[in-house]
Amino acid sequence: MLSKLDEALLSESAIDLVYEEELFKLLAREIAAFPIKQRRALLVDLANRMTFETHPTPLQRAFLQSGIRLEEYQQPLPDDLKERSKYSALLYHAYKRVAQLARIREYTSAA
């Protein structure tokens, strides 16, 4: 039988998971609307940081719901110094754009 503390912790964990999944859905929709080159750089970076198991993670599911299969973006970074520099600049601006998304800030401040 669960104690009151255990029940409270389980309830809090469930709320956190729902919040996280909703945030990921919102983020995926916003990223899907980014300029093409910034979106691609960001998706390549995210995909390269992930493993793709049999069951998608909440973030992977959120992107799938937005029509983006992250595993398709998994690839090595450019070897050419100029191309890698372009990629890095695009990625910097994409992450900066994510940090400044008004809808994301509204959602996180409301929680």
The ranges assigned to domains in the chain are: 4-110
Residue 20 has a pLDDT of 81
Alpha carbons within 13 angstroms on the beta-carbon side of residue 68 total: 26
Q: Would you state the pLDDT for residue 10?
A: 57
* Mean pLDDT within 98-105: 81
Q: C-alpha angle with apex 107: 74 to 45, nearest 5 degrees?
A: 15
Nearby residues of 17 by Cβ (< 8 Å), 6 or more positions away: 58
**Mean pLDDT for the stretch of residues 41-63:** 93
pLDDT tens-digit readout, 53-69? 889 999 999 999 999 99
Highest mean pLDDT among 1-5, 13-17, 97-101, 106-110: 97-101
Note whether 41 and 94 are within 8 A (CB): yes
